[in-house]
Chains A and B, each alone.
Chain A
Amino acid sequence: MRIKTPTVVMVLYLLFLMLPIYWLVNMSLKTNAEITGTFSLYPHELTLRNYRVILTDPSWYMGYVNSIIYVVMNTVISVAVALPAAYAFSRYSFMGDKHLFFWLLTNRMSPPAVFALPFFQLYSSVGLFDTHIAVALAHCLFNVPLAVWILEGFMRGVPKEIDETAYIDGYSFPRFFVRIFMPLIASGIGVAAFFCFMFSWVELLLSRTLTSVNAKPIAATMTRTVSASGMDWGVLAAAGVLTIIPGALVIWFVRNYIAKGFALGRV
C-alpha cells in the first residue's frame, strides 16, 4: 500500500503538537525521584500521587474552583449583554454603528499588560479586589467584543423575514427574541459561550493581578510549586494536565465552529 504525502504531513505535524503534551502527561504520572533521577520515555512506576496531592489540598483545588467560578460568571455576563447588541448590529443600521463595531474590536486588541495596573487600582478603590466578580468583569474587556462579533456572524445567517413574520403575528420584541430567535441561533450561543469560557480560562495576567488569596486562579497557584525541598515537578505537571482537561472535553462539540470562533465570527 502506498502512503500518501498528506497523511505523512499530518502525522508529522500532529506528532509535533502532541509530543510536548505527552511529555507533560508522562511526567504527571511519575514519582519525583523518577523524573529527576532517571530518564524514561514512559512512567516505570505508575503513580497517582501527584493528582492526589492536588485533589486533597484545598490550596490547590480551590484554585480550580476559583477559576471556574469567575470563568462561568464572565461567560454568563458576556453572552447576556452581547445578545441584544449583536442583534442590533446584524439587523439595524444606526448612527455610529460601524465606528462602534470597530471600537469594540479594539478592546480585543488592547494588550492586557496595559490594563493590568489601572484594573488593579480601579477594583481596589471600589473594594472588589480579590473577588471573583472583579476578574469576571475584567475579562469582559476582551470577551464581550468577542461574543458580539461571533453572535453577529451567526445572526446574519438568519433571514430577516422571520423577524417580520413574527412581528406580524403579534409577537412583542422580547418574546420574539427569547421564544423564536434564540432557539434559531442556539448553536451560535453555544459557540460564543465556549469561546468566552476558553479565553477567560487561558488568561493569566489580569486574573493574577486582580487576586491574592480568596479568588486566586489555578494558573497563579501553579507558580508556587517551588518549595524548600526543591521543585515539585510531578505536581506541577499534574496541575497542568488538569487545566487542559476542560477544553479537551468540550472541544468535540464545537469542532465544526472552531475556525469561526477564533476568527471572531468572520469566516
Chain B
Amino acid sequence: MEKTQNNKAWFLVLPVLVIVAFSAVIPLMTVVNYSVNDTFGNNEFFWAGLEWFDEMVHSSRLHEALGRQTLFSAIILAIEVPLGIFVALNMPKKGFWASLVLVLMALPLLIPFNVVGTIWQIFGRTDIGLLGRGLKALGLDYNYTSDPLDAWITVIVMDVWHWTSLVALLCYAGLQSIPQAYYQAARIDQASRWAVFRYIELPKMKGVLLIAVLLRFMDSFMIYTEPFVVTGGGPGNSTTFLSIDLVKMAVGQFDLGPAAAFSIMYFLVILLVSWVFYTVMTNLDRSQTDIPEAM
C-alpha cells in the first residue's frame, strides 16, 4: 500500500514512545551507568571506564555460559525447526479436527514459564514422575538432578515440548496460503512428494520459517525461568545459561559493574542477530509483494 508522507504521525506514536522510554530507555541507561562505574556502597560511584568490559570479555565464567547458551540454542533450533515443519505438514487442513488440533497444540505455549518448569520437574522425577519412573522401569539410570547429561536432555526435551508447536503453527499458517491449484499442477506433472515439498511448500514457508527461527533463537537465547525451575542451573554449572548466570551475578552477588557490562554485551549480541534477521525479513517481504505487481 502506498503510504502518505506525514510527519505529524509522530504525535500518534508519542504515547508508545513515552511508555517505552520509561520502561526501556531509563533502565537501559542505568545499566550503562553501572557498567562504567565502580561502587563501594552508599550510592557513591567512581569512574571505572571499560574495566568491567575488559574483565568480562576475559572471564572464563562468561565464556562457559556463552558456550552452553550457544550450544543449547543450536540444538533447540536443529530439533524444533525440522520437527515443526514435519508436524505442520501432517496437520489436518480444515474442519473441527483442525481447530481442535490447533487449540491443543497451542496449549503448552500459554502455560506460565515457571509452571512449564514445574510440570517437567515433576514429570522427570524418578520417584513420582511418569517419565522418570518410566525410564527407570526400562532400566535406564536417569536422574536429572545429579547427572549433567540427563539434565541437558530434560531441559532440551522440555523446550521441544514447550515451543515446537510455535514453529508448527507458523509453518501451518504458511502452508494454508498455498492455492490448491499449485498442488493440482504438481499432480499433473507427477511430481514426487519430496519435489512438492521442495519446490512448492518450502518456498511458500520461507517467510514464516524465518520468523520462527528468529523467535526461537531470541527466546531460547534469553531462556531463564524454565531451566531455573527444573535444574536451578545445576548439577554444578552444567545448565547455567546466560540469563541464569546474569541474574545470579546481579541479584545474588550484587556485582553491579560486571553484571551491567555482561548485560550490555548480551543485549548487543541479540540485537546484532535480530538485526540481520530483520533485514532479511523485510527484504523478503518486499520481494514477495513485488511479484504480483510484476505479473
Contacts and interface: CB of A to CB of B under 8 A. Distances in A.
A104 B129 CA distance: 42
Contacts of B173: 259-260, 263, 267
Interface in B29-67: 30-31
Interface stretch (B70-78, B100-108, B140-148): B100-108
Contacts of A258: 102, 106, 169
Contact of B110 (A105, A109, A137, A198): A198
B72 to A, nearest CB: 14
Interface string A105-118: 11111111111111
B174 to A, nearest CB: 7
B163 to A, nearest CB: 10
Contact of A204 (B10, B24, B114): B114
Interface string B74-91: 000000000000110111
B200 interface: no
Interface in A228-264: 233, 236-237, 240, 243-244, 247-248, 251-252, 255-256, 258-260, 262-264
A213 interface: no
B16 interface: yes
B260 to A, nearest CB: 8
A117 B118 contact: no
A107 B24 contact: yes
B110 A247 contact: yes
A16 B161 contact: yes
Contacts of B259: 117
A209 interface: yes
Contacts of A259: 169-170, 172-173, 208
A215 interface: no
A162 B130 CA distance: 57
Contact of A138 (B23, B109, B222): B23
Contacts of A168: none
B90 A10 contact: yes
Interface string B1-23: 11111111110110110111011
B215 A262 contact: yes
B267 A247 contact: no
A91 B115 contact: no
A5 interface: yes
A243 B112 contact: yes
In which size bucket is the chain A interface?
A: 35 or more
Contacts of B251: 116-117, 120, 209
A111 B221 CA distance: 8
A93 B5 contact: yes
Interface string B149-171: 00000000000010001100110
A92 B3 contact: yes
A102 B222 CA distance: 19
B122 interface: yes
Interface residues of B, number: 94
Nearest to A202: B112
A48 B65 CA distance: 43
A150 B8 CA distance: 22
Pick the most buried of A80, A91, A111, A201: most chain B CB atoms within 10 A of its CB. Answer: A111
Contacts of A14: 101, 104-105
Given A93-B5, A236-B118, A267-B170, A141 B256 contact: no
A64 to B, nearest CB: 11
Contacts, number: 278
B12 A84 contact: yes
A17 interface: yes
B248 to A, nearest CB: 10
Contact of B16 (A17, A104, A116, A223): A104
A19 B131 CA distance: 9
A226 interface: no
A13 to B, nearest CB: 5
Nearest to A118: B27
Interface in B219-262: 221-222, 224-225, 242-244, 246-247, 250-251, 256, 259
Interface of A: 5-6, 9-10, 13-14, 16-21, 23-24, 27, 35-36, 39, 41, 77, 80-82, 84-85, 87-95, 97, 100, 102, 104-122, 137-138, 140-141, 144-145, 148, 156, 160, 198, 201-205, 209, 219, 222-223, 233, 236-237, 240, 243-244, 247-248, 251-252, 255-256, 258-260, 262-264, 266-267
26 contacts: A5-B90, A9-B90, A16-B161, A21-B119, A24-B119, A88-B9, A88-B13, A94-B7, A95-B10, A107-B24, A110-B267, A113-B246, A116-B250, A122-B30, A148-B16, A202-B111, A204-B225, A233-B122, A240-B119, A243-B111, A248-B107, A255-B99, A255-B102, A259-B169, A264-B211, A266-B207
* In the complex, the 6 A-B pairs of residues with the closest C-beta atoms, listed nearest first: A247-B110, A118-B27, A111-B222, A259-B173, A88-B12, A92-B9
